Structure formats: structure tokens, C-alpha cells
């Protein structure tokens, strides 16, 4: 069974530029999450989707971050404009309504 796929793995951008990350969850998983992991900290939930609807985006900085999951399968997380403090690993995860949440390899973002 294929795992959670994310791309790109690494991205370096200048502040005020934009960036987009893509995630393809495990086939059949209705719930999709985006987490932000800043160096030295635990992952923090940004947004949770159930199919193509948003369940929780209370921690998403909506002035610069946006996310969508149009067809209830893959998802895109966008940052525009990026700030230095957005440097982090962006982890996508999925769940089928069971007890285990599966994570992708992450997308490493460096804002310079």
C-alpha cells in the first residue's frame, strides 16, 4: 500500500515569495491533515479536512496560508507571502477514521 506522498521535499524561497506544497493521501483515506513542524518543536496542526470539507482551520494563519482539497483526494497548501518564521517542515497526514494517522515524509521549507 502506498503511503502519503508529498512534494516537493525541499524548497528554498526568499521572503515575500510564494510557495505551494502538494499532498496525496493514502487511497481511501477521507481525513487529511496539514501540520507545521518548526525546528525543535513538535508538529502543530494547521488544518484538517474531512473529504473536501474543512473540519478545523483554527490554527491556520489565514492572512498568508491557504489550503484546499477540491475533489476530496489530494490537497495543496499555499503560503503567500512567505515570512522568515514560516521556515519549517510541512507534514501531510491522512486517516481512514481509525486510530492511526499516517504521515508523509514532509516538505522542508527554508525562507531566506
Partner 1 sequence: AQSVTQLDSQVPVFEEAPVELRCNYSSSVSVYLFWYVQYPNQGLQLLLKYLSGSTLVKGINGFEAEFNKSQTSFHLRKPSVHISDTAEYFCAVRGNDYKLSFGAGTTVTVRA
Residues from 53 through 112 that contact partner 1 (CB under 8 A): 56, 91, 93, 95, 97, 99-106, 108
- Start-to-end Cα distance in the chain: 37
Residues from 13 through 52 that contact partner 1 (CB under 8 A): 31, 33, 40-45, 48
Q: Decide whether 42 or 80 has the Cβ nearer to partner 1.
A: 42
The helix (H) or strand (E) run that includes residue 46 is strand 44-50
Please work out the total of residues on this chain that contact partner 1, with binding judged by CB under 8 A: 24
Q: Is 109 left (phi over 0), alpha (psi -120 to 50) or beta?
A: beta
Q: Decide whether 48 or 75 has the Cβ nearer to partner 1.
A: 48
CA angle at 14 for the pair 33 and 89, rounded to the nearest 5°: 25
Interaction site with partner 1 (CB under 8 A):
4, 31, 33, 40-45, 48, 56, 91, 93, 95, 97, 99-106, 108
Amino acid at each position: 500500500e502506498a503511503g502519503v506522498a508529498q512534494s516537493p521535499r525541499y524548497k528554498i524561497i526568499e521572503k515575500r515569495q510564494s510557495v505551494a506544497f502538494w499532498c496525496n493521501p493514502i487511497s481511501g483515506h477521507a481525513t487529511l491533515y496539514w501540520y507545521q513542524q518548526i525546528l525543535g518543536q513538535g508538529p502543530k496542526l494547521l488544518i484538517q479536512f474531512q473529504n473536501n470539507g474543512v473540519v478545523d482551520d483554527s490554527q491556520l494563519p489565514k492572512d498568508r496560508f491557504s489550503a484546499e482539497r477540491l475533489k476530496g483526494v489530494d490537497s495543496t497548501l499555499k503560503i503567500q507571502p512567505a515570512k522568515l518564521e514560516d521556515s519549517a517542515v510541512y507534514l501531510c497526514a491522512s486517516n481512514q477514521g481509525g486510530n492511526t494517522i499516517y504521515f508523509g515524509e514532509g516538505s522542508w521549507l527554508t525562507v531566506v
